[in-house]
A and B are shown apart, each in its own frame.
Chain A
Amino acid sequence: MEALFTVNNVWMMICTALVFFMHLGFSFLEAGLTRQKNTVNILFKNFFVITAGLLLYALAGFNLMYPGFEEGAIGFFKFAGWGIAPPEGGMTAAYADGGYTWWTDFLFQGMFAATAATIVSGAVAERIKLEAFMLFAVLYVGLVYPIVGSWQWGGGFLSSWGFYDFAGSTLVHSVGGWAALVVIYFLGARIGKFSADGKSNPIFGHNIPIAAAGVLILWLGWFGFNGGSVLSADPEATSLVLVTTSLAAAAGGVVASIFSHILYKNYDITMFMNGVLGGLVAITAGADQMSTGEAMIVGSIGGIVVVLAIALLEKLKLDDPVGAIAVHLFAGMWGTLAVGIFGAMAGFDQFMIQLAGVGIVGAFCVLSTLILVLLVKALVGLRVSKEEEINGLDDAEHGMAAYADFSVSKK
């Protein structure tokens, strides 16, 4: 039993490290799909999110997300106090059915927490004021993310209803996606993205190899994100989850690349990459519930959802440079609903519960983002000046260049 406890805990710590690694994946993806002049800024935001996010989680987030709701409580909000301190028996197999220690629990969940704000970082890239982003990220990761998380993973009302979100299609990805959507609505599109006559213009990512590395790192990280969400090293569950996760990623990528070729007559690597991520986000809610075939279907539809959502946002004149909203919000919603359509839990009642969960979380995130955006706008303003945006945020906000003395040949 002691040996099993140790093995479980080692697996969970490996998964923690893999989820940490995803922050490099996000950084690479966001830097690669945006322009050279904003690279330092993107990296600064990503560093801020993982560092401040972890500190906030230690300060209050963990105790907001896992407050230990009393029997019979509504399960909407509870705060178990400041700071982190292991409870009695937190380092023994008695804690969490021998799956992991309390320290591992904290760090694994802490690595998740920052993800929600990282999703926002990509969507608002290239025009948001650094201070506005940092202020928003602190409030969102510090308050909104753990409160929503407590409803399900903390044993709150969504979990009592029977809502199912294995590793966070809704609780992590959609929570970030909703915030991204509301913030870019208030922020407006980048200069040059839409012409005065309403025409959409492309703004090219400056480093496709880095973006590609980012996506593959994210896929690797997902082994920890989903694999660790088994909450032990259970041989069957963890290996199944790794298989469903990978099959969904593969199917999402292949289908998105073919689908975007059918629509646009172009083999677009960035659509391929977003499709892989769409498959990953989609399978996240039901990774332990799906057969291999179902995982491929869920991932494939995730890939199509991403391509269509990118087109929809363009139509609505919402500027998301990296496709974060299409991937995390739209594929996240799809994946959550898919638990009621495919897999071991499928059924009409389950579907309705999934739908209710998606709706309630969406409403809460939109409303809280709305309040936070207006607050941040009033305090520091949202957007850099036109001149700062055109010169690049690296120059305006940081006074430095990402590739100071480096140039590449065009062709």
Chain B
Amino acid sequence: MKKIEALIRKAQYEDVKNKLHEVGVTFFSYWDVTGIGNEKFGRVYRGVSYSTSAIDRRMLSIVVNEDFVEPAVQAIIEAGGTGNIGDGKIFILPVEEAYRIRTGEKGGDTLN
């Protein structure tokens, strides 16, 4: 089992979600994050110019069995990419165990 953590553009979220569904990844968690990166925007508020380095992105947390890792990653890359700086990152982490709370069973089957 692996956990895929993906930071993607909010604008690409719907595409990524649909693509993940297509490859059989039907459940995951997500939340909005703010980070620091290379992207900077020039802005003006009441005549005061400033540049923001705070970047809004969406974080996806997906736990899958081994054979889903590569399709899921490819789905995110395909649907999440625009070709511009700031498209995001994907991290793969090992997961030691998974439990289904309702039945108490454990192992890879709980992810189906």
Task: Mark A residues whose CB is within 8 Å of B.
Answer: 200-202, 204, 260, 263-266, 268, 270-271, 307, 310-311, 314, 323, 410-411
Contact = CB atoms under 8 A, between A and B. Distances in A.
Contacts of B49: 264
10 contacts: A201-B48, A202-B46, A204-B45, A260-B47, A268-B45, A270-B46, A310-B46, A314-B47, A314-B48, A410-B32
Contacts of B48: 200-202, 314
A266 B44 contact: yes
A246 B9 CA distance: 45
4 tightest A-B CB contacts, nearest first: A202-B45, A266-B44, A264-B44, A202-B48
B50 A201 contact: yes
B47 A271 contact: yes
B44 A410 contact: no
Contacts of B45: 202, 204, 268, 270
A267 to B, nearest CB: 10
Given A202-B50, A410-B56, A411-B56, A265 B32 contact: no
A372 to B, nearest CB: 29
A411 B47 contact: no
Contacts, number: 36
A160 B32 CA distance: 66
A411 B10 contact: yes
Contacts of A265: 44
B contact residues, range:
10 to 19
Given A202-B45, A260-B47, A307-B47, 7 more contacts: A200-B48, A201-B48, A265-B44, A268-B44, A268-B46, A310-B46, A411-B10
A219 to B, nearest CB: 20
Interface of B: 10, 32, 43-50, 56
A311 B47 contact: yes
B13 to A, nearest CB: 12
Contact of A271 (B10, B46, B50, B56): B46
A311 B44 CA distance: 12
B32, B43, B44, B50: residue with the most chain A Cβ atoms closer than 10 Å: B44
Contacts of A271: 46-47
Contacts of B47: 260, 263-264, 268, 271, 307, 310-311, 314
A302 B86 CA distance: 43
A257 B25 CA distance: 49
A307 B46 CA distance: 9
Contacts of B56: 410-411
Nearest to A33: B46
A388 B10 CA distance: 36
A264 B48 CA distance: 9
A73 B56 CA distance: 68
A320 to B, nearest CB: 10
A204 B48 CA distance: 11
A245 B93 CA distance: 66
Contacts of B44: 264-266, 268
Contacts of A202: 43, 45-46, 48, 50
B12 to A, nearest CB: 14
A204 B50 CA distance: 12
A411 B9 CA distance: 12
Contacts of A200: 48
Contacts of A263: 47
A310 B48 CA distance: 10
A411 B32 CA distance: 9
Nearest to B42: A265
Contacts of B43: 202, 266
A28 B53 CA distance: 31
B10, B46, B48, B56: residue with the most chain A Cβ atoms closer than 10 Å: B46
A304 to B, nearest CB: 13
A32 B73 CA distance: 44
A265 B49 CA distance: 10
A271 B10 CA distance: 30
A201 B49 CA distance: 8
